[in-house]
Amino acid sequence: MSTVRMANKLVDEIIRSFKKSYDKANPELEIDTKYGDQLYNTYIGPRVDMVVETAEEAFSDLFDAKSMFGKSNQLLVEAPVTISKVTRDDDKNSVTAELHEEHCFTIELSTERLVPKAINNSSWSSHAENVRYAFDRYEDKTFNYVCEVHEHNSKLEANKELSAKEVRVLLEKFTTLNQALKAWPALSKLVAPEKLAKVHEKQQRKRKQDLQKEMADEVIVGSDINKTILAGALLGDED
C-alpha cells in the first residue's frame, strides 16, 4: 500500500524541515567578535592589567597573581533585554515581548583573553566563563547594539516557533500526505523525497487504472458485450 499516513513521526519531520527553511529565509543577525573585543578592551582588559600588576607587586613572593584569572573566548553579559516568546492567550497562539532586567547571554571574542575567575564558596572557580559582566546598556552604544541584535534574534525565534505551531495544526487536519499536498502544494518542499515518491506512485497507479478503464469503455460501450454477459448471468448455468 502506497498511502502515506500523516503520522506523528511524519509531522515532526515536516516541522523540522519547515524550521530549517524558516532559518534560511530569516537568518539571524550575527554579532561580529569585534564588538566583544571592544567591550573587553574598554572595560575589562585595563582593569585586569591593573589588578595583576598590583597583586604581583604585593603577593609575588606568596602566589602567582595570574592564578586569580583564567582565559576565555567569550563574555557572559547581563542586561535589561526584551525577550520575545510564544504564549497562549484564550487558546490563541501569539508572540509577546517581556522585559527581563537581568537577562544573560554570551558575546564571542576573537581570541582568548585574560578574565577574572568566578568566586564560588569562598574559592576561585576554574571556569572564568561564569563571571557575569553588567555593562550599562544605554551608556555604551556598542553594548546597546549587541542587545538590540539579541532582541531581534529572539523575536525571529519566537515567530519561527509560532509559525511551526500553525503548520502542525494544519497538518493534523489531514489523515494522509496526499490530502495535505492537494490542499497545500508548497508542502512538497518540506517532505522527504522518498515520501513524495510513494505518493506519486499511488497517483501514477490511479492514472493507469483510469486509462485502462477508458480503454475498456471504448471496447464495451456501443457493443452488446455487457448485454451478453448480463443475459448469461440471468439465465444461469443450465448444466
Confidence of residue 23 (pLDDT cuts 50, 70, 90): very high
Helix (H) / strand (E) element for 228: namely helix 225-235
- 116 beta partners: 69
Q: What is the pLDDT of residue 198?
A: 84
Rounded-to-integer distance, Cα 208 and Cα 68, Å: 78
Rounded-to-integer distance, Cα 139 and Cα 144, Å: 8
Q: What is the pLDDT of residue 122?
A: 45
Task: Tell me the average pLDDT across 45-52.
Answer: 92
Burial 137-148 (b: 16+ CB within 10 A, else e): beebebbeebbe
Q: What is the DSSP letter of 130?
A: G
Cα distance from N-terminal residue to C-terminal residue, the chain? 41
Residues 6+ apart with CB under 8 A from 115: 40, 44, 48, 69, 70, 71, 72, 75, 128, 131
Rounded-to-integer distance, Cα 115 and Cα 219, Å: 89
**Mean of all residue pLDDT scores within the chain:** 84
Q: What is the pLDDT of residue 237?
A: 57
Q: Can you read off the three cell numbers belonging to residue 12? A: 515532526
Q: What is the pLDDT of residue 74?
A: 93
Q: What is the pLDDT of residue 190?
A: 93
Q: What is the DSSP letter of 138?
A: T
- Write the pLDDT tens digit of every residue in 132-159: 899 999 999 999 999 999 999 999 999 9
